[in-house]
């Protein structure tokens, strides 16, 4: 069978069902799923916030999923092309909060944006937890 590797990226902090949905759907586009998990430093530079879960824990959680084959640490947003090539990915899948942001990679692989799961996010969960007395 021809190998069709899918690659996706994310922080996946405070892992929730929206993360499961996107990873499951990403996996369905091929027969091998590779996930780049944003490092703590990269997340801080993007969101000015240290993730609640450390990069080691986030890598562990993502690698334990049955539909994930390979995980690695995403150290920089500028290395996407190298990551895609290194993992021999033929399709890049991202949530549609990144719509059109990665269109330049259409030169080297398919690029698909999937709808986000509504009404759930890491930020919303953190706010709910903070509000509990």
| Contact residues for ligand C2G, defined by CB under 6 A | 9-13, 18-19, 22, 38, 74, 77, 94-95, 97, 116-117, 120-121
28: number of CA atoms within 13 Å, CB side?
8
Nearest approach in angstroms of CB 1 to ligand C2G is: 27
Residue 87, token pair as written in the block = 């993992």
- C-beta closer to ligand C2G: residue 53 or 69: 53
- C-beta closer to ligand C2G: residue 78 or 133: 78
Q: If you ran DSSP here, which 8-state letter would residue 11 be given?
A: -
Nearest approach in angstroms of CB 11 to ligand C2G is: 4
- C-beta closer to ligand C2G: residue 1 or 8: 8
d(CA 56, CA 61): 9
d(CA 21, CA 115): 10
- C-beta closer to ligand C2G: residue 1 or 113: 113
Nearest approach in angstroms of CB 132 to ligand C2G is: 21
Pair 14, 125: CB distance under 8 Å? yes
Taking CB positions, which residue lies at the least distance from ligand C2G? 95
Report how far apart, in Å, the C-alpha atoms of 110 and of each of 22, 82, 93 are.
17, 15, 8
Nearest approach in angstroms of CB 32 to ligand C2G is: 18
């Amino acid at each position: 069978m021809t190998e069709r590797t899918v690659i996706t990226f994310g922080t996946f902090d405070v892992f929730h069902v929206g993360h499961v949905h996107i990873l499951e759907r990403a996996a369905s586009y091929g027969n091998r799923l590779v996930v780049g998990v944003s490092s703590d430093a990269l997340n801080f530079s993007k969101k000015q916030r240290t993730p609640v879960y450390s990069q080691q824990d986030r890598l562990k959680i993502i690698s334990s999923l049955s539909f994930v084959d390979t995980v690695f640490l995403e150290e920089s947003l500028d290395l996407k092309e190298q990551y895609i090539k290194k993992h021999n990915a033929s399709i890049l899948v991202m949530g549609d909060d990144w719509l059109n942001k990665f269109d330049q990679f259409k030169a080297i692989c398919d690029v698909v944006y999937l709808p986000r799961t509504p009404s759930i996010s890491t930020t919303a969960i953190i706010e709910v937890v903070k509000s509990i007395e």
